[in-house]
Chains A and B, each alone.
Chain A
């Protein structure tokens, strides 16, 4: 829509609210030029709806990446997602696949139950850092150790977002939150956990990587990681996890643009980006082994 059209509409409305609406001439549709093609659109399973996320929140980007990958792989019709406790609990309102809601931190256990009784399902968990790195450490470690056929999308924004931006195990040293008002102190509050590196030590983990949504290039790389983590499940290689460094402008007390700069300049150095382990390169998939 052109700026001119917007202005015209605004003026027409401003002149006289009571007058009958002017007749609108049918718009002449310009046929697309043959060389034009659509390169961007809403993924089929991303439901066309305003989200409840705060302005500038990164969850929407991660939701979109997941929707794109599930669509590209053609697995949406057999996907069962595990919704966490936290801001992402409403995933079932935005991604048109089957969902089950887990208690806080228990998504990997719930996913284990789903994956074991429905071997044909594509099973994913979508968890925040409070959920996965605090209350749910036992569940994520043991699902990974068992090599469950699950893909975990782990959105790390360094705080408990939904409850008001409290300190999480991933909060940076010195970072002020509503429950570390003078900054995170290593001696009394511990150090940030790089849980994806810890998980990558387990042989059951087929793929572990860390991406970011700080800029367009990082978003593209993160999508490739999510794709790779989904492939690991589809190839029967075992457990896969992609940690996505994200922002929480409201929880961090920052403007969205400033939060992206902070994510890039302060969070990323603490949590290095890249593939941490990709055992597909080391071991054949069951299908390859049988061939």
Chain B
């Protein structure tokens, strides 16, 4: 290029990135100050990437003695005001459950990535979605939730990592990003649309009590009344999150008679199934929750009224399907197809399951008796605005 040449308009270079690396780099670009981890397949590349990059940038990387250690280092660093990332895979997440409960109770923001593998126990190292219950209903003890975000592509994972930090800091809560072994290990072309977040300062962070009253970050409230009041505050926060932060995506749902409901890698399989089924003349769409907690129950319930049937597809024995059934509440039949132990369902077997659903529902109207039992829900317009596409995710239009 000659010195007088006019530079080309800037374009975002598309590069091929592995999911684990992309999520790590997204956290770095979002301003992550400290990473704590422990080796486990299939997320080890995330740890390795951080081991090299964080010290380069003068930031904190510690390979802990265990997942217990890593999660509790995160608790300390986050209490001291750092933006903290921790990652692991299913068995390691079980060990982090203790710290998750403490962080929820003491309202410490941090982001935890679970690159799920097959269980129970040591299970396998193949991709799985069998930690849905753990992620959305628990991890540790006590009445708490954490937002759970489920990317179904690597570009979306990049966007969700940044959003996870924003949610964590806005609501003073741990946030979990629920990926799986395929999303961690696969490579996809991504635009380098990484977001940079402003520094976060708050009046609860531990900085040393010079010239101010001492602060304590804690979850212990020995008196029952005090602890109930603290729990009511937490629940009020969870209600706010339910009202404001539900996210989902739909494809081909406008004229759909049937819907596939799936998240993450299963949703990628279902996208192929929608295409093939539509070619056969079955009007089917895809409803894809992006926040698994809070679950997009109103959005799904509203659509269920117009559907002849729903097929939920998971890489598990059927976990999210319980939330689908609660949301649908009898408005239409809900079928399930799942594979376990690290097996990814093929489009052909999902299509077969859809054929079964179409045959059994026979295009009939939903059972009027079950409809009578369902209280009508008010669906606000605000929820429509929460329906997102990948472009808006990457551009950070949610703030």
Pairwise interchain contact B72-A139, C-beta atoms closer than 8 A: yes
B255: shortest Cβ distance to chain A, in Å?
52
- Interface: B355 (CB within 8 A): no
Q: Mark A142-157, 1 if CB is under 8 A from B, else 0.
A: 1000100000000000
Which residues in B have their C-beta under 8 angstroms from that of A195?
A: none
Check if B29 is an interface residue, CB within 8 A of chain A: no
CA separation between A139 and B69, bound complex, in Å?
Answer: 6
Do A113 and B209 contact each other (CB < 8 Å), given the known contacts A100-B216, A100-B218?
Answer: no
Q: Give which listed residue, B65, B79, B216, B219, contacts A139 with CB less than 8 A.
A: B65
Which A residue sits closest to B61, measured CB to CB?
A116
Rounded to whole angstroms, the CA-CA distance of A89 and B221 in the bound complex is 11
A30 CA to B209 CA, complexed, in Å: 38
Q: What's the minimum C-beta distance from B140 to chain A, rounded to whole angstroms?
A: 9
Please tell me which stretch of B98-106, B277-285, B343-351 contacts chain A, meaning at least 4 of its Cβ atoms lie within 8 angstroms of it. Answer: B98-106
Residue pair B73, A112 in contact (C-beta under 8 Å):
yes
Q: Is A100 touching B210 in the complex (CB atoms < 8 A)?
A: no
> Would you give the shortest CB distance from B68 to chain A, in whole angstroms?
7
Q: Check A97–B74 contact: CB distance below 8 A.
A: no
CB A89 to nearest CB in B, in angstroms, measures 6
Q: State which of A78, A89, A99 has its C-beta within 8 Å of the C-beta of B210.
A: A78
B75 within 8 Å of A by Cβ? yes
State in angstroms the CA–CA spacing of A121 and B79 once bound together.
Answer: 13
- Bound complex: CA A210 to CA B120 (Å): 44
Q: Which of B77, B208, B218 contacts A83 (CB 8 A)?
A: B218
A228 interface contact, C-beta 8 A: no
Contact of A101 among B70, B80, B106 (CB under 8 A): B106
User: How far apart are the CA atoms of A165 and B215 in the complex, in Å?
Assistant: 31
Given the known inter-chain contacts A92-B216, A99-B217, please indicate yes or no for A113 contacting B73, CB distance below 8 A.
yes
A80 near B80: Cβ-Cβ < 8 Å: yes
Are B69 and A117 in touch, CB under 8 angstroms?
no
> B211 within 8 Å of A by Cβ?
yes
Minimum distance in angstroms from A179 CB to a CB of chain B: 22
A76 at the interface (CB under 8 A from B): yes
Q: Smallest distance from the beta carbon of B95 to chain A beta carbons, Å? A: 11
Contact partner of B209 (CB less than 8 A), chosen from A82, A96, A110, is: A96
A76 touching B82, Cβ below 8 Å: no
Decide if A77 is an interface residue (CB 8 Å cutoff).
Answer: yes
> Which residues of chain A in 123-144 are interfacial with respect to chain B, using CB atoms and an 8 Å cutoff?
138-139, 141-142
> Which residues does chain B contribute within 8 Å of A77, judged by CB atoms?
208-211
Residue of B77, B84, B215, B219 near A98 (CB, 8 A) is: B215
In the complex, chain B residues whose CB is within 8 Å of the CB of A110: 72-73, 75-76, 79
For residue A98, which residues in chain B have a CB less than 8 angstroms away from its CB?
Answer: 206-209, 214-216
Question: Is A103 an interface residue when CB atoms closer than 8 A count as contact?
Answer: yes
Which of B72, B208, B216 has a CB less than 8 Å from the CB of A113? B72
* Residues of A close to B77: CB separation below 8 A: 113-114, 116-117
**B206 touching A114 by the CB < 8 A rule?**
yes
A237 CB within 8 Å of chain B: no
Q: How far is the CA of A102 from the CA of B106 in the complex (A)?
A: 10
Give Cα distance in the complex from A126 to B209, angstroms. Answer: 18
Is B17 close to A, CB under 8 A?
Answer: no
B207's contact among A76, A118, A141, by CB below 8 Å, is which?
A118
A69 CB–B CB distance under 8 Å: no
Taking the complex as formed, is B33 at the interface, i.e. its CB lies under 8 A from any CB of chain A?
A: yes
Residues of B within 8 A of A101 (CB): 102, 106, 216-220
Cβ contact of A103, chosen from B98, B208, B209, B217, cutoff 8 A:
B98
Complex interface: chain B residues within 8 A of A111 (CB): 76
Within 8 A of A (CB), among B179-231: 206-211, 214-220
The answer to the question of A109 belonging to the interface, with a C-beta cut-off of 8 Å to chain B, is: yes
Contact assessment for A117 and B218 in the assembled complex, using a CB-CB cutoff below 8 Å: no
Asked if A116 contacts B73 (CB within 8 A), the reply is yes
List the B side residues contacting A80 at CB < 8 Å.
80, 206, 208
With a cutoff of 8 Å between Cβ atoms, the chain B residues found around residue A120 in the complex are 208
Considering the complex, give the chain A residue whose CB is closest to the CB of B76: A113
Near B by CB (< 8 A), chain A positions 15-63 give: none
Answer whether residue A79 sits at the interface, using C-beta atoms and an 8 A cutoff.
yes
What residues on A are CB-neighbors of B210 within 8 Å? 77-78
The verdict on A117 contacting B209 (CB below 8 Å), with A106-B68, A110-B75 known, is: no
A110 to B79, CA, bound (A): 9
A residues in contact with B68, CB < 8 Å: 106, 109, 138-139
In Å, the complex CA distance between A117 and B54 comes to 12
On chain A, the residues within 8 Å of B33 by CB distance are: 117
Contact assessment for B208 and A109 in the assembled complex, using a CB-CB cutoff below 8 Å:
no
Interface string of B42-65 (1 = CB under 8 A from A): 000000000000000000101011
Instruction: Note all chain B residues with C-beta closer than 8 A to A78.
Output: 208, 210
How far does the alpha carbon of A117 sit from the alpha carbon of B211 in the complex, in Å? Answer: 21
A100 and B60 contact, Cβ closer than 8 Å, known pairs A106-B68, A109-B68, A113-B36: no
> Within 8 Å CB of B208, what residues of A?
77-80, 97-98, 118, 120-122
Complex A-B: 16 CB contacts under 8 Å: A78-B210, A83-B218, A97-B214, A100-B75, A103-B72, A106-B72, A109-B64, A109-B68, A109-B70, A112-B69, A113-B73, A113-B80, A116-B34, A116-B60, A122-B208, A139-B72
Task: Add 18 more A-B contacts to A110-B75, A118-B206 (CB < 8 A).
Answer: A77-B208, A83-B216, A89-B220, A97-B209, A98-B214, A99-B214, A100-B75, A101-B218, A102-B76, A103-B102, A109-B64, A113-B72, A115-B76, A117-B82, A118-B80, A118-B208, A121-B80, A121-B208
